[in-house]
Amino acid sequence: MRQGRFRIDALDPAGPNAERITELFWFMTITASVLYLIVIAVMVYAAFRRREPRPGPAMETRMERRAGIGVAVGIGVTVVVLITTLLVDFSLSRANASTGAEQRPITIEIVGHQWWWEVHYEDSVPQRRVTTANELYLPVGQRVKLVMTSTDVIHSFWVPNLAGKKDIVPGYRTETWIQADRPGVYRGQCAEFCGHQHAKMGITVIAVPRAEFDQWIARQLQPAATPTDSLALAGQQVFVNGPCAMCHNITGTTASGIVGPDLTHLASRRMIGAGTLLNRRGQLAGWIVDPQGIKPGVRMPSNQLDPNELRALLAYLETLR
Ligand code: CUA
């Protein structure tokens, strides 16, 4: 299934982790189907075979022996199939958990919130740490380490085209590795019921060539520029002096809230509201004015702005590339 140009399909793997899981899926599906057909065939045979007249005592012993052999073979096959499946599953989990040959891996810290994803690209130099939300950029062909935790309840990180689910647990760090071998835009989804808006906890993963990834990092490291346009400048005042700044950070301004997503490069993102709406002017306006109508229960309150303030605010937010 595709959502516009977003890929979301567990059987269309775009990286090694998802490939292994797809192989396991087909292995189990085919094994189970073959066994099912054999069981059905034996049942049909037993139901329709010709009844024999009541046998004598010598014949009865022979038949009991035959039945005993049948049961032993059935148990043997079951044990072999279960152990094989267990071993295949175990080796797959090990392979997916291993770091591969990456010398200096990219490490991304992900913090789950009700109902959005906080994202930090780690760097030994604090000033080179990139913070964003609900969107991951990955360089194609490189293994990326994800270190995850939650601030409230259990969530689960799942990008079906790239890797299996990994739970995100409050007060605990879980790790996983992902890799995208094909450039593309992949849709991820929280996969653990985490409250009212669990379904609207999406994440966009964008896999791009390494050079483009480096450009993206460089752009994300820039603080927000002060707008030159007077309308956008008025919008900046609405933002920093209004309630927005209490929850959101925009680096380069006095807005430094940490309750909601960092908005320093909001305009560069494809979606808003954690994959809820496309990042277009009309949707953004609707989201600012009535987030409770779009995603009931979300932490963001509805905002009563007069039309001029709203227009200015939108003009400002659109400068945050
Ligand atoms: Cu977060 Cu479901």
Structure tokens at 170: 């409050």
Per-residue pLDDT of the chain (321 residues; tens, 9 = 90+): 444 578 888 889 999 999 999 999 999 999 999 999 999 998 999 898 877 777 777 778 888 888 899 899 989 999 999 999 999 999 988 888 876 666 678 999 999 999 999 999 999 898 899 999 999 999 999 999 999 999 999 999 999 999 999 999 999 999 999 999 999 999 999 999 999 999 999 999 999 999 999 999 999 999 998 899 999 999 999 999 999 999 999 999 999 999 999 999 999 999 999 999 999 999 999 999 999 999 999 999 999 899 999 999 999 999 999
Q: What is the whole-number distance in angstroms between the Cα of residue 196 and the centre of ligand 1?
A: 9
Helix H segments across 2-108? 16-48, 57-97
The closest residue, in CA terms, to atom 1 on ligand 1 is 155
With the C-alpha atoms ordered 178, 179, 180, 181, is the resulting torsion angle positive or negative? negative
Eight-class DSSP state of 223: P
Nearest-angstrom CA–CA distance, 27 and 150: 34
- Nearest atom of ligand 1 to the alpha carbon of 194: 2
- Nearest atom of ligand 1 to the alpha carbon of 198: 2
Nearest-angstrom CA–CA distance, 191 and 186: 15
187 lines ligand 1 (CB under 6 A): no
Residue 115, preceding bond cis, omega within 30 degrees? Answer: yes
pLDDT of residue 1: 40
What long-range pairs does 311-315 form, CB within 8 A, spacing at least 24? Answer: 311/231, 311/235, 312/231, 312/232, 312/234, 312/235, 312/237, 312/238, 313/235, 313/238, 313/239, 313/244, 313/288, 314/235, 314/281, 314/284, 314/285, 314/288, 315/227, 315/229, 315/231, 315/232, 315/235
200 lines ligand 1 (CB under 6 A): no
pLDDT of residue 53: 72
110 lines ligand 1 (CB under 6 A): no
Burial of 283 (0-12, 13-18, 19+ CB in 10 A): middle
Q: What is the whole-number distance in angstroms between the Cα of residue 242 and the centre of ligand 1?
A: 29
Length of the chain: 321
Nearest-angstrom CA–CA distance, 132 and 80: 48
The kind and range of the H/E element at 138 are strand 135-139
pLDDT of residue 51: 76
Q: What is the whole-number distance in angstroms between the Cα of residue 286 and the centre of ligand 1?
A: 23
190 lines ligand 1 (CB under 6 A): yes
Residue whose token pair is 């879980």: 174
Cα–Cα–Cα angle for 234, 278, 179, nearest 5°? 115
pLDDT of residue 83: 95
Q: What is the whole-number distance in angstroms between the Cα of residue 117 and the centre of ligand 1?
A: 10
- Nearest atom of ligand 1 to the alpha carbon of 168: 1
pTM of the model: 0.88
Nearest-angstrom CA–CA distance, 210 and 128: 17
